[in-house]
Amino acid sequence: MTVTVRFAPSPTGNIHIGNARTALFNWLFARKNGGRFVQRFDDTDQARSKQEFADQILYDLHWLGIFPDKVEYQSRRFERYQAAVEKLKAAGLLYPCYETPDELELKRKIRLSRKLPPIYGREALALGAEERAALEAEGRTPHWRFLLPNYQRDPSETRRTDISWTDIVRGEETVDLASLSDPVLIRADGTYLYTLPSVVDDIEMGITHVIRGDDHVTNTGVQIALFKALGADAPAFGHHNLLTAASGEGLSKRSGALSIASLRDDGIEPMAIASLAVLTGTSENIEPVPSMGDLAEKFDPAAASRSAAKFDPADLVHLNRALLQTMPFTAVRDRLVAFGVGGVQAEAFWLAVRGNLDRLSDAARWWEVVSKDYRPDVPFAEADAAFLAEAFGLLPDEPWNGETWKAWTGAVKEKTGRKGKALFRPLRLALTGLESGPELSDLLPLLGREETLARRP
């Protein structure tokens, strides 16, 4: 049996880092097990689902390094869902209900007042054909509920019915079907809710493992019952903890907060996002992982804790910086061209500045600093101006290399008696116009003697 997983967002907005966590858990699980990854768009909500969002999600996944083996759309499979509906109706497991939302809310409050669980009481099962016809004559259109197998003979007399599974993330899990309402599978307007299409697709697409957020744990009990009702074995399930902001606030596609698209526009590297999305809220250390292959080796779904995985977006910048510090020139050469970085000095430049970048785009600033005609505009006190005049007069002859800075500052120290900050700060300001930055021993050969002299205040 080939391990087959799926990532099934609704294309109603851009995916965020929390959605990426689910996609990555599935992708890495498939990769570790030589399996397949199905990208399925749960787009039965045709009013809100947009192809442009589906296209953006696919682009974001590719950018992160996730490449689906197959792409499916639920909106193209309605006939399959209707066939399942007819099968459930024929088995007496799907029944029409006519209550309005207000009536359902009133029933819920009455049950709560009687200290009963606020679940649907199956009153619609007692309706005869004439009563249903009368309700429909009033203009009521039924919604349809799945009859949970939580009774022995009489559906009005429920009993504890445990659905148990070994969760690949959380371990042993149990849901009591008697504690749940019969789920609505079809709305009054004829559209399908999430549960039915999801189960039908999982059966027909051969999904072997469903890995998703732990907000679906209760749903799993219902879905296992529905798999059995449709004559199929349920897949294995895994429910990982959800990713939240440091405040504990949940993430939303509708708000656009921390969307993959916005993080990309902000200059965050794909592997910084992947590393944080996968490792946060697990027993693994949060550190930058250079490739998906390396991340797959570290990935263990059972390492995720049961509590929410809180993270600080600032962690993304730290991971990004750490990734860039070790990134070889070959990995960024073509991307640097977009920032004007090229030519024979490009590789030496990258090796010199990569340790000082939060984002790749920051390289543009340092390329400007080492380019000809850049002239720092820094006012110096009289004593520093005199010191710099003397220091620039001691510049070594070319050729220059990584030892030139040490030789030059050694000569300046001996001649002027300056040391420490009093020695190095004026020189850095004169050469770069900035208080900090890459090692000047690396920048000096990029400047060359002529350009360095040109920056003499």
Q: Determine what percent of the chain is predicted with pLDDT higher than 90.
A: 91
Q: Which letter does DSSP use for residue 283 in this model?
A: S
63 sits in the region (left: phi over 0; alpha: psi -120 to 50; else beta) called alpha
Q: How far apart are CA 436 and CA 423, in angstroms?
A: 14
pLDDT exceeds 90 at position 144: yes
Per-residue pLDDT averaged across 180-193, rounded? Answer: 96
* 316's tokens: 């993304």
- 3-state helix, strand, coil split of the chain in percent (to 5) is 50, 15, 40
Q: Which letter does DSSP use for residue 41 in this model?
A: E
pLDDT for the residue 254: 63
Over residues 15-34, the pLDDT tens digits come to 999 999 999 999 999 999 99
Q: How far apart are CA 144 and CA 226, in angstroms?
A: 14
Q: Look at the chain and count its residues.
A: 457
Q: Are the beta carbons of 387 and 413 closer than 8 angstroms?
A: no
Nearest 10 degrees: Cα torsion 204, 205, 209, 213: -100
Comparing CA positions, the residue from 394, 369, 371 lying closest to residue 453 is 394
Neighbouring C-beta atoms of residue 128, cutoff 10 Å: 8
Per-residue pLDDT averaged across 378-407, rounded? Answer: 96
Mean per-residue pLDDT over the chain, rounded:
95
Farthest CA pair distance, the chain: 108
Over residues 53-112, the pLDDT tens digits come to 999 999 999 999 999 999 999 999 999 999 999 999 999 999 999 999 999 999 999 999
pLDDT for the residue 251: 78
Q: Determine what percent of the chain is predicted with pLDDT higher than 70.
A: 99
Cβ neighbours of residue 411 under 8 Å, at least 6 residues apart?
394, 396
Over residues 158-175, the pLDDT tens digits come to 999 999 999 999 999 999
Over residues 240-290, the pLDDT tens digits come to 999 987 777 777 766 566 899 999 999 999 999 999 999 999 988 899 999
Half-sphere exposure of 393 (CA within 13 A, CB side): 8
pLDDT for the residue 265: 95
pLDDT for the residue 441: 97
How would residue 146 be classed by pLDDT, with cut points 50, 70 and 90? very high
Over residues 42-59, the pLDDT tens digits come to 999 888 999 999 999 999
Per-residue pLDDT averaged across 424-430, rounded? Answer: 97
221 phi and psi angles, rounded to 5 deg: -60, -45
Alpha-carbon Rg for the chain, nearest whole angstrom, is: 32
- Alpha helix stretches (DSSP H) within 65-205: 78-90, 101-113, 129-137, 195-204
pLDDT for the residue 333: 97
413 phi and psi angles, rounded to 5 deg: -60, -45
pLDDT for the residue 450: 95
How would residue 308 be classed by pLDDT, with cut points 50, 70 and 90? confident
pLDDT for the residue 256: 63
